[in-house]
Structure 1
Amino acid sequence: MANLRQTPLTCSGHTRPVVNLDFSDITESSYFLISACKDGMPMLRQGDTGDWIGTFVGHKGAVWGVALNNHATRAASGAADFTGKVWDAISGEELYSFQHNHIVKSVNFSKDSVHLSTGSNEKLIRIFDLNKPEAEPDVFSGHTASIRHVLFFRNDTHLISCADDKTMRVWNRSNRQEIQKVVFPFNPNSLEVSKDGTVLTVAYSNKVAFYDAENLTKIREFTIPSPVNSASLHPDKSIFVAGGDDLKVYKYDYQTGSEIESFKGHFGPVHCIKFSPDGELYASGSEDGTLRLWQTTIGKTYGLWKCIEGGSLNDSLTAPKEVQAN
């Protein structure tokens, strides 16, 4: 078999660094991808092709965090304008804007899309009830530095967060109390809960660590050749990908930590990386202002990738039309 070249799909349109991304679950219309960018204009794309669908217009500062609900009917974004916003992902209309007192770095929907969590530079986590948007949010305090990521956890009965105080914490939603904590030697840069809810993936310094989601014991940890900004575990937990300061995206065997392959496609540090819900591709966002979609199995006909003679792949480039949601 010929040695296949990885040809990522390049998604243009942003004008500043891409710092966060999120996939929906698989819907009747495949799945979707949202990106957060310092240009303040989160973009929605078709997940398997990268085709631009629309841009959510309304923030007045860099967008740091984004999320899609499972069905891709709602989007959320957190920004430097001290707001967390919820959008209709079909019409592009802004539905709610929740005021904070500092930069909102992280947003996440509950499984039923009824609640939105936010993490901010106020060191606080909030949960907003989208059925009662005027109500005061539940507030969780305990972190001693800016919060990087907060996710609904354990079938939405808990939250999990990581922050610049070198900790990862689990919170009980019913009493808003912290119940578990892991301390790292460096600030954790990314946090992901596996598709089946059993494994946590954390990137910090030049390490990718995996934790048991129930008892927070470390399962394994591997060293990457570069400072790592983000890592993601494949839905079947066979491989993981990582990206960081050396501009490369890396693929590793989850059991052994052996490097399978690495690719250079970005022209700046990789800030975020994540597998699609079907595991067929992973997306990366970079300082260079682009998103790139990479095939998990090189040479497979999938999305815009067509297998052709000679074992190489055709290049595809997607660019947005006018960046304005309908």
Structure 2
Amino acid sequence: MRPLMLQGHERAITQIRYNREGDLLFTVAKDATPNVWYTINGERLGTYDGHRGTVWSVDVNWDSTKVLTGAADLSCKLWDCETGKVINTWDTKSSVRSSNFSYCGNMINFTTDRQMKHEPKICIYDIREPSDSEPALSFVVDTKEMSKPMCSLWGALNEYLITGHDDGTMAHWDLKTGELLHSVREHTALIKDMQLSSDQMMLITASKDKTAKLFDAPSLNLMKTYKTDRPVNSAAISPIRDHVVLGGGQEAMDVTTSNLKEGKFDARFFHLVFEEEFGRVKGHFGPINSLAFHPNGNSYSSGGEDGFVRVHQFDESYFDFQFEC
């Protein structure tokens, strides 16, 4: 499994995202310049210039016409995917941690951090409205009851919003009123990443408590737990096999004190149902910060603290492999 090495960022990767067809891969990092790549050959198609700080999140709408980014420069930006021009900028009081398009692509949401005495907020906008219009929904997260949100996702059919928080809590929010519908706390530490399955019925989370957990997305009922010996920064569900991939490793601040093997920076594959590990892929020289399966399931990509994105095409042996019960 020889990977394509994508080197277009000067600092650590924060998130990677495929478009729906899988021909494009969007990457953001701490260097303030989102990139877009052709997945077939690893050629860089272009960059989106305009942020002035770390870009924490990226998303692309269903027809690959618009790109959404959230950054530490106190802004969330909507871009024209083809030209790289900024369509709209939403200024915030604190860093934008997560940002997502709704399934239909007409709505966006982004969450902000708790900074400079500003409480974390969840904002939802209809991007068909004028750029200076009020948000469709905006509410402050009460940090006395719940810590700040670190990641967010739209639920199936855009009926609710799912958030993961830095105390290990997950929550459902009503998209009409902003009311907290229900919450669970199955993790004991910060939730770094959440990703839905291709049918949006299952949700996998990655946490600093050294586990990834599989939930039923509509109910947030815990179904499976994948245990490791390192913090988990990202996890993804295969669209074609009963497999999940986990990535993480030793904390970035401690990377220089250990060698590659001790840091444990490899991607780990687990069986979705049996929770057993069956494979590892090495290569990064730092923690893996983001993982994503290609929509056709034939490959996956990883972005690391080393600033590299690695696109791995699966060998035939991967598809022939049958897990022994």
TM range (shorter): 0.7 to 0.9
Q: How far apart are the structure 1 equivalents of 2:51 and 2:222?
A: 38
Report 1:77-226 matches (<5 A).
Answer: 77-122=69-114, 123-132=120-129, 133-137=131-135, 138-142=137-141, 144=143, 145-183=147-185, 184-204=187-207, 205-226=209-230
Q: How far apart are the structure 2 equivalents of 1:142 and 1:105?
A: 14
Tell me by how many angstroms 1:256 deviates. Answer: 1.1
Q: How far apart are the structure 1 equivalents of 2:91 and 2:206?
A: 29
Partner letter of residue 20 of structure 2?
Answer: D
Q: How far apart are the structure 2 equivalents of 1:237 and 1:161?
A: 26
- Distance verdict in 2 for CA 1:143–1:166, change over 3 Å: farther
Of 292, 304, 308, 1:286 maps to: 304
Q: Is the 8 A contact 2:167 2:188 kept in 1?
A: no
Structure with greater proportional helix content: 2
TM-score by length of 1: 0.86
What do the CA deviations read for 1:192-212 (whole angstroms, capped 9, x no partner)? 111101101011121110011
1:255 is aligned to 2:279: no
Q: Is the 8 A contact 1:17 1:37 kept in 2?
A: yes
Tell me by how many angstroms 1:259 deviates. Answer: 1.6
Q: Which moved more, 1:219-228 or 1:96-105?
A: 219-228
Partner letter of residue 72 of structure 1?
Answer: S
Q: How far apart are the structure 2 equivalents of 1:96 and 1:23?
A: 22
Q: How far apart are the structure 1 equivalents of 2:90 and 2:277?
A: 43
Q: How far apart are the structure 2 equivalents of 1:67 and 1:96?
A: 15
Tell me by how many angstroms 1:78 deviates. Answer: 0.6
Unaligned runs of 5+ in 2: 115-119, 250-263, 319-325
Tell me by how many angstroms 1:297 deviates. Answer: 3.8
Tell me by how many angstroms 1:131 deviates. Answer: 1.1
- Distance verdict in 2 for CA 1:75–1:43, change over 3 Å: same
Partner letter of residue 132 of structure 2?
Answer: E
Structure 1 segments of 4 or more deviating over 6 A?
none
Of 31, 34, 38, 1:42 maps to: 34
Q: How far apart are the structure 1 equivalents of 2:17 and 2:312?
A: 15
What do the CA deviations read for 1:90-143 (whole angstroms, capped 9, x no partner)? 111111100011011111001221111101104211011111122111113335
Q: How far apart are the structure 1 equivalents of 2:241 and 2:89?
A: 36
Tell me by how many angstroms 1:82 deviates. Answer: 0.4
Partner letter of residue 235 of structure 1?
Answer: P
Q: How far apart are the structure 2 equivalents of 1:149 and 1:14?
A: 22
Q: Which moved more, 1:172-181 or 1:37-46?
A: 172-181
- Distance verdict in 2 for CA 1:8–1:299, change over 3 Å: farther
Tell me by how many angstroms 1:215 deviates. Answer: 1.5
Tell me by how many angstroms 1:296 deviates. Answer: 3.5
What do the CA deviations read for 1:238-288 (whole angstroms, capped 9, x no partner)? 100011112111111111122221011111110011111111111111110
Q: Is the 8 A contact 1:143 1:163 kept in 2?
A: no
Q: How far apart are the structure 1 equivalents of 2:309 and 2:162?
A: 26
SS at match of 1:155: helix
Q: How far apart are the structure 2 equivalents of 1:174 and 1:78?
A: 23
Unaligned runs of 5+ in 1: 1-5, 301-326
Q: How far apart are the structure 1 equivalents of 2:169 and 2:241?
A: 24
- Distance verdict in 2 for CA 1:61–1:38, change over 3 Å: same
Q: Is the 8 A contact 2:155 2:218 kept in 1?
A: no
- Distance verdict in 2 for CA 1:179–1:237, change over 3 Å: farther
Higher-RCO chain (CA-CA 8 Å, sequence separation at least 6): 1
Partner letter of residue 138 of structure 2?
Answer: V
Q: Is the 8 A contact 2:57 2:71 kept in 1?
A: yes
Q: How far apart are the structure 2 equivalents of 1:140 and 1:152?
A: 16
Q: How far apart are the structure 1 equivalents of 2:51 and 2:244?
A: 33
Partner letter of residue 11 of structure 1?
Answer: L
Q: How far apart are the structure 2 equivalents of 1:165 and 1:227?
A: 14
Aligned CA-pair RMSD: 1.7
